[in-house]
Amino acid sequence: MQDEKIRVLIVDNIADTRESIQKLLLFDKSIEVIGTIGTAKDAIQMATEKQPHVVLMDINMSDMDGIAATEAMRKKVPFVQVIILSVNDDLNIMRRAMMAGARDFLTKPPDVDQLVEAIHRSHDLAKEEINKMGTVGVAGVSPAGDTIYRSAIFGKVIMIYSPKGGTGVTTLATNLAVTLNSTATNVVLVDGSLQFGDVTVFLNEQPRLSIADLAPRADELDPEIINEVLINHAQTGLRILAAVPRPEMADKITGQQFVKILQFLRRLYHFVIIDTSSYLTEPIIAALDEADLIVLLTTQDIPAIRDTKIFLNLVESFNISKEKLLFVLSKSDKRIPITPEKVSEALKNEVKLEILFDDRTVINSVNRGMPFVLDPKPQPIVRNIMDLADTIRSILISETQTEGEIRG
Ligand SMILES: Nc1ncnc2c1ncn2[C@@H]1O[C@H](COP(=O)(O)OP(=O)(O)OP(=O)(O)O)[C@@H](O)[C@H]1O
Ligand SMILES: [Mg+2]
């Protein structure tokens, strides 16, 4: 099916806009516009009938808002990838679109290169989803919590780590998990800071069960046990595996048990995100090996940079591929003379992304037990998290495709 065209549906309530977008796409012969439509309701109907790979959706439809339409459409046609178009790049709208399962977000009028690139990227994702649907089914747990039957997922394990404590690992892990969790991709957040885990505090949940209830059964896990132990985050539907209730219980969890739990979770969830402590326990070392991606946090100070260097040597001696590391600068602050470029130089590795220093937003969010990405008035730091989520998606998705090509 190599010469199969990319089937695109254009949804906008202004006829002129529909036409001009259609004209833009004429230049790419691999794209076929299979329909243009003016109301969200008709668009959902048409998507169900014509099964496009990609839908270009205006945010302001007269009968239904584009975000609600996205959500409804993905329920009917699970592989469809929606690109939202909006006149302004409002952070609030972008975030809502992402959580509703939209794949991309472009401002109007779209730049033709950007649009075509976004369509191709979305098409890759749609194909991947279609392939998954064709594979043998396994039992899974739906975001709503009930056991369902659906195609096998080979989810990705993402570990957030910093060799220095207090760097912002839990802040990042919780906000990233909430951002990546959508109708398109389900996420489980594992509190791997086993002794003094505080993920449930950050998310305002009270754990009844924890990883201590899974570890002894690591060899005989099934979706029902997992479902029973995971917490359903009330605000977002994110699933959480809580740390042990008392610190002394953490020692009982072996590296092998921890990895078996991660391996089982990755069959049920698209993304398994691990919050970690800097202290290198047996489970953390085992998870470094199991992870597909390690988000390595550092800050603009000498002790943190030194610890990161020591950790990099350790990575080498553990034979962990450096390719898996994604360097992120936490609490990034322009006032500090050690610039991100200098940090990159010192580490001999490029810092790919920054999370701004914003103590007010972070502390308020933690004290309320509400991730700041959910704040109705998003601050610039929210964009940092969304950029990171985007980067992670593109790294891990292109990886899946290469694996698929090798297997095939
Ligand atoms: N981007 C940020 N800007 C300003 N302050 C931040 C930021 N991220 C985290 N903090 C602050 O840093 C402190 C540590 O944050 P957090 O608990 O997320 O770090 P951690 O790496 O998980 O720490 P631990 O090693 O204790 O697990 C908190 O006081 C938090 O408010
Ligand atoms: Mg922490």
- With 0-12 / 13-18 / 19 or more C-beta atoms within 10 angstroms meaning exposed / middle / buried, residue 329 is buried
Residue pLDDT, tens place only, 149-202: 333 467 899 999 999 999 999 999 999 999 999 877 899 999 999 999 999 999
166 Cα to the center of ligand 1, angstroms: 5
CA angle 211, 261, 352 (to 5 degrees): 100
CB 70 within 8 A of CB 78: no
Q: Ligand 1, atom 3: nearest CA belongs to which residue?
A: 357
Same domain, 274 and 163: yes
Q: Give residue for tokens 């990883």.
A: 211
DSSP label at 198?
A: -
Query: Considering only 120-129, 207-216, 304-313, 346-355, which range has the smallest mean pLDDT?
Result: 120-129
pLDDT at 398: 61
If one residue of 164, 196, 362, 365 were mutated to test the ligand 1 pocket, choosing by the most ligand atoms within 8 A of its CB, it would be 362
Do residue 286 and residue 340 come from a single domain? Answer: yes
Question: Which residue type occupies 186?
Answer: N
Peptide bond between residue 110 and the one before it cis (omega within 30 degrees of 0): no
Contact of 405 with 195, CB cutoff 8 Å:
no
Helix-helix angle 282-290:255-268, to 10 degrees: 40
What angle, rounded to 10 degrees, do the helices at 380-407 and 169-180 form? 70
- Residue whose entry in the numeric block shows the structure tokens 């009930």: 146
Alpha helices in 245-330 (DSSP H): 255-268, 282-290, 302-317
* Domain final residue pick, 82, 99, 134: 134
229 vs 144, higher pLDDT = 229
Q: How far is the CA of 140 from the centre of ligand 2 (A)?
A: 29
**Domain closes at, from 86, 116, 134:** 134
| pLDDT average, residue stretch 299-306 | 98
Which residues are CB-contacts of 401 (< 8 A; sequence separation ≥ 6)?
A: 124, 128
Q: Which residue has the higher pLDDT, 131 or 30?
A: 30
Whether 76 and 215 map to the same domain: the answer is no
Closest ligand 1 atom to 162 CA: 21
> Measured over all CA atoms, what is the biggest interatomic distance in the chain, rounded to whole angstroms?
66
Ligand 1 binding pocket (C-beta < 6 A) is 162, 165-171, 193, 277-278, 330-331, 355, 357-359, 362-363, 366
Task: Tell me which residue of 161, 163, 192 sits closest to 313, measured CA to CA.
Answer: 163
Residue 287, CA atoms < 13 Å, CB-side half-sphere: 34
For the cut 60, the answer to whether the pLDDT of residue 276 exceeds it is yes
Q: Taking 70 as the threshold, does the pLDDT of residue 47 lie above it?
A: yes
Ligand closest to 169 (CA) is: 1
Amino acid 146: pLDDT: 37
CB atoms within 10 A of CB 153: 18
**DSSP secondary structure code for residue 250 in this structure:** G
Whether residues 111 and 141 share a domain: the answer is no
Q: Are residues 240 and 369 in the same domain?
A: yes
Query: Closest Cα to atom 9, ligand 1: which residue?
Result: 168
Least confident of 4-8, 92-96, 339-343: 92-96
Residue 61 pLDDT level (bands cut at 50, 70, 90): confident
| Rounded-to-integer distance, Cα 378 and Cα 381, Å | 8
Q: For 26-65, where are the alpha helices, taking DSSP H only?
A: 40-50
In whole angstroms, give the CA distance from residue 153 to residue 164.
33
Determine, yes or no, domain membership for 161: yes
Q: Is the pLDDT of residue 108 over 80?
A: yes
Q: Give the rounded distance of the alpha carbon of 242 from its chain centre.
A: 19
Instruction: Point out the domain boundary residue: 109, 134, 159.
Output: 134
Alpha carbon of 73 to ligand 2 centroid (Å): 37
pLDDT of residue 153: 60
From the CA of 326, how far away is ligand 1's center (Å)? 19
CA 163 to chain centre: 23
**DSSP one-letter code for 152:** -
Does one domain contain both 231 and 378? yes
230 CB-near residues (< 8 Å, 6+ apart)? 141, 188, 239, 240, 241
Residue 36 domain flag: yes
The predicted model gives 265-283 an average pLDDT of: 95
Residue 194 lies in a domain: yes
Classify 263 as helix, strand or coil: helix
SS3 376: coil
Q: Given this model, what pLDDT does residue 402 score?
A: 53
Atom of ligand 1 nearest to the CA of 332: 1
Token output for 311: 């950790």
d(CA 142, CA 356): 34
From the centroid of its chain, how far is CA 256?
A: 26
CATH number of domain containing 89: 3.40.50.2300
pLDDT at res. 403: 52
Answer positive or negative: Cα dihedral of 235, 241, 243, 246: positive
Q: Judge whether 351 lies within some domain.
A: yes
Asked if residue 181 and residue 107 are part of one domain, the reply reads: no
Question: What pLDDT band is residue 77 in, cutting at 50, 70 and 90?
Answer: confident
Question: Has residue 216 been placed in a domain?
Answer: yes
pLDDT at 284 over 70: yes
Q: Which atom of ligand 1 is nearest to the CA of 193?
A: 27
Confidence (pLDDT) at 135: 41
Note whether residue 150 is domain-resident. Answer: yes
CATH of the domain at 244: 3.40.50.300
More confident residue, 65 or 144: 65
Distance CA(106)–CA(118), nearest Å, equals 9
Report the alpha-carbon distance of residue 244 to residue 250 in Å, rounded.
6
389 and 259, same domain (yes or no): yes
CA distance 45 to 59: 18
The full length of the chain comes to: 408
With respect to residue 174, please indicate whether it lies within any of the assigned structural domains: yes
- Name the 3-class secondary structure at 106: strand
Residues 53 and 171 in one domain: no
Q: Check whether residue 199 and residue 144 sit in a common domain.
A: yes
Between 128-142, 188-202, 221-235, 317-331, the lowest mean confidence (pLDDT) is in 128-142
| Domain containing residue 128 | 6-134
Which amino acid would we find at residue 320?
I
> Are 119 and 142 in the same domain?
no
Beta bridge partners of residue 141, listed in sequence order: 147
Q: How many domains does the chain have?
A: 2
Q: Is 1 inside a domain boundary? A: no
* Same-domain check for residues 238 and 322: yes
- 193 Cα distance to chain centroid: 20
